[in-house]
């Protein structure tokens, strides 16, 4: 008799669990980067709208550290019940696996992509007093330099960009490392470093204030935020597009229906022009993708950066 009651109780519990609505409590979005960063601004704007759409609180939890690895591990190791999801970027998905030996996660197996929101194009920036009037003059200087033309870098994509420019010019560049992008940009502004491949999120205000000058956008489409600036691809057609991106993922094993719901609602928000307009001060470019497109994009971006990092000869640390 006890076994019968136990079996019935289990069936009732399973039915109630299966029938429970989702979501029925707050959702946490783990951001592996600090408060006040561009990704933080974007995710908090999304969280406010997502909470209204799902009728539950959405809480952003910042877990910065180790180039995004700390927060990513927090997200990957969370319960896969749909109540903890995490921010993904090109850094955490596509670059860290090739820049570091032991990150303790595999984005191709540990992540379930939910959505991509958009990102920030990179441009090659110099101080206003720079002797390089345009992109071709910078490339010529790199080609002829014996000491190496300096570039500021705070993370993998900026390093790859600088090194690719050196290879394209068949010359010498010298990367100057920084812990974050703002001080890197500041040193370029002051003329202590020759150039940087900087995101609009951290360079736009300086470009608009004319304390920085953009020589080229690293995207053939250019950027509406710095009109009239040519693209690198006009001079170097095969040069890869450089644009940071922000997305969301869940730990593996999450119910596919929960992914579908989250993806659908997030895609609606990311596709709304009003959402992109609210982030225009950061130079945000909207490129929304649903879960299916996100999965394909992450896979291709992962492979693309593997090849780029190997091409420039960066060894994992």
Q: What is the pLDDT of residues 68-117, one digit of tens each?
A: 999 999 999 999 999 999 999 999 999 999 999 999 999 999 999 999 99
Instruction: Provide the pLDDT for residue 228.
Output: 95
Name 175's Cβ contacts closer than 8 Å, sequence gap at least 6: 150, 151, 152, 153, 159, 162, 163
Greater pLDDT, 251 or 5: 251
19-50 tens-digit pLDDT: 579 999 999 999 999 998 899 999 999 999 99
Give, in degrees to the nearest 5, the angle at Cα 166 between 163 and 172: 110
Local confidence band at 3 (pLDDT 50, 70, 90 cut-offs) = low
Q: How far apart are CA 70 and CA 79, in angstroms?
A: 16
Residue 7: is its pLDDT beyond 90?
A: no
Q: What is the DSSP string of 229-279?
A: PPBHHHH-TTSPP-EEEEEEEEETT--HHHHHHHHHHHHHHHH-HHHHHTT
pLDDT tops 50 at residue 175: yes
- What is the per-residue pLDDT for 181? 87
Share of the chain above pLDDT 90, in %: 91
Radius of gyration of the chain (CA): 22
CA distance readout (Å), 137 to 154, 200, 254: 24, 22, 52
Give the CA-trace dihedral at 141, 146, 152, 156, to 10 degrees.
100
| 31 DSSP β-pair partners | 62
Q: Which residue has the higher pLDDT, 306 or 17?
A: 306
**Which of 244, 238, 114, 95 lies closest to 164, judged by CA?**
238
Q: What is the mean pLDDT of residues 254-283?
A: 97
pTM for this entry: 0.89
Cβ atoms 218, 243 nearer than 8 A: yes
Secondary structure (H, E, C), 20-54? CCCCCCCEEEEECCCCCCHHHHHHHHHHHHHHHHH
* Domains of the chain, first to last: 2-120+244-312 (3.40.190.150), 121-235 (3.40.190.10)
Mean pLDDT over each residue of the chain, to the nearest integer: 94
Say yes or no to pLDDT of 4 above 80. Answer: no
Angle between helices 181-189 and 200-208 (to 10 degrees): 30
Residue 146 has pLDDT above 80, yes or no: yes
- Residue 17 pLDDT > 70, yes or no? no
pLDDT for 294 beyond 90 = yes
Query: What are the backbone angles phi and psi of residue 27, rounded to the nearest 5°?
Result: -110, 135
Q: What is the pLDDT of residue 38?
A: 92
Which pLDDT score is estimated for 208? 95
pLDDT tens digits for range 296-316: 999 999 999 999 999 999 999
Count Cβ atoms within 10 A of the Cβ of residue 237 and give its class: 0-12 exposed, 13-18 middle, 19 or more buried: exposed
What b/e readout covers 194-211, taking b as 16+ CB neighbours within 10 angstroms? bbbbbbbbbbbebbeeeb
**What is the distance between the alpha carbons of residues 51 and 158, in angstroms, rounded to a whole number?**
34
CA distance 40 to 44: 6
Reported as a pLDDT band with limits 50, 70 and 90, residue 182 is: confident
Does residue 42 come out as left (phi exceeding 0), alpha (psi in the -120 to 50 range) or beta? alpha
Q: Does residue 1 or residue 153 have the better pLDDT?
A: 153
pLDDT reading at 16 higher than 80? no
């Amino acid at each position: 008799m006890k076994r019968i009651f136990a079996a019935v109780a289990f069936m009732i519990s399973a039915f109630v669990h299966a029938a429970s609505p989702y979501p029925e409590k707050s959702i946490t979005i783990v951001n592996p980067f600090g408060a006040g960063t561009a990704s933080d601004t974007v995710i908090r704007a999304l969280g406010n709208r997502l909470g209204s759409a799902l009728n539950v609180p959405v809480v952003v939890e910042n877990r910065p550290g180790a180039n995004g690895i700390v927060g990513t591990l927090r997200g990957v190791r969370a319960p896969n019940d749909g109540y903890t999801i995490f921010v993904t970027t090109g850094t955490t998905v596509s670059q860290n696996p090739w820049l570091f030996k032991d990150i303790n996660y595999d984005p191709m197996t540990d992540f379930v992509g939910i959505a991509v929101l958009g990102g920030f194009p990179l441009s090659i920036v110099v101080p206003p007093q720079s002797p390089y009037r345009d992109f071709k003059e910078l490339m010529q200087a790199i080609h002829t330099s014996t000491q190496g033309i300096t570039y500021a870098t705070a993370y993998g994509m900026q390093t790859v960009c600088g090194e690719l420019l050196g290879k394209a010019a068949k010359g010498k560049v010298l990367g100057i490392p920084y812990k974050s992008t703002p001080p890197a940009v500041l040193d370029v502004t002051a003329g202590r470093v020759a150039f940087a491949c900087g995101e609009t999120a951290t360079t736009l205000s300086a470009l608009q204030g004319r304390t920085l000058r953009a020589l080229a956008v690293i995207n053939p489409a250019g950027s509406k935020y710095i009109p009239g600036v040519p693209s690198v691809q006009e001079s170097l057609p095969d040069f890869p597009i450089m644009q940071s991106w922000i997305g969301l993922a869940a730990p593996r094993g999450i119910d596919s229906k929960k992914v579908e719901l989250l993806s659908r609602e997030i895609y609606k928000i990311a596709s709304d022009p009003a959402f992109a307009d609210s982030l225009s001060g950061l130079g945000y470019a909207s490129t929304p993708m649903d879960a299916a497109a996100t999965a394909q994009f992450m896979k291709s971006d992962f492979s693309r950066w593997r090849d780029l990092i190997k091409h420039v000869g960066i060894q994992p640390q």
